[in-house]
Amino acid sequence: MVVTDKGEDTRRRVVEVAARHFAESGYAGASLNDLIRDTGLTKGGFYFHFDSKESLALAVLDHLHESWHGQLLASVRPQERAVDEIRVIVRALAEMKASHPEQAAIGRLCMELPREAGLERHADHFRGWYAMTEQLLGRARDEGDLDPSIDLGAAARYVVGAFVGADQLSDLEGDGRMLRDVDAHITFSLRAVGARV
């Protein structure tokens, strides 16, 4: 099948509409019929680009992950201290989500897709985040800002998990608290894993 520029534009539009639906309703709650209607496509037009809701969800994850990574790299400048770099990254994530609510689809899909048969292996988009955090914590240890006895992998999972949990609570409460409290949150998280902040 030859993909034209118009076909790529249509596919991108479907993914963007789906990201909004998944961010608002989650995977299970998003109606494929409503989503197709909101794209302006016929069912046949939709199925030309995606063979299922599952393949669309995976395309949304890939699209948002690329977008998130690109925006993060553009907004974060390396810091002298690794603990400061972690702080800047977490702040940038909170700001990106506040300005692009469709980014919430990443978290919702990563939580829901592992429950769907056959999709478990596709839903681990946190792996890169763990690795980046572990690398930064290793640098913090080398700089003397982290207790050398700390298990870096466990600390990275804790820091990422603490952010994801606080972010989800902020979503549930609908109060935008994550953006307001991001600096205090990351200070608590870094102290909890033995970092000097």
pLDDT in tens, 154-197: 999 999 999 888 887 777 777 667 778 888 999 999 999 999 98
Counting Cβ atoms within 10 Å, is residue 73 exposed (0-12), middle (13-18) or buried (19+)?
A: exposed
pLDDT in tens, 59-104: 998 888 888 777 777 777 888 999 999 999 988 888 888 887 777 7
Structural domain 5-192, CATH architecture:
Orthogonal Bundle (1.10)
In three-state secondary structure terms, 195 is strand
- pTM of the entire structure? 0.75
- Residue 62, CA distances (Å) to 69, 144, 162, 174, 197 in order: 10, 36, 23, 26, 34
The domain segmentation of the chain, as residue ranges, is 5-192
What percent of the chain is predicted at pLDDT more than 70? 91
Q: How many of the other CB atoms lie within 10 Å of CB of 78?
A: 8
Q: What are phi and psi of 195, to 5 degrees?
A: -90, 150
pLDDT tier, 151 (very low <50, low <70, confident <90, very high otherwise): very high
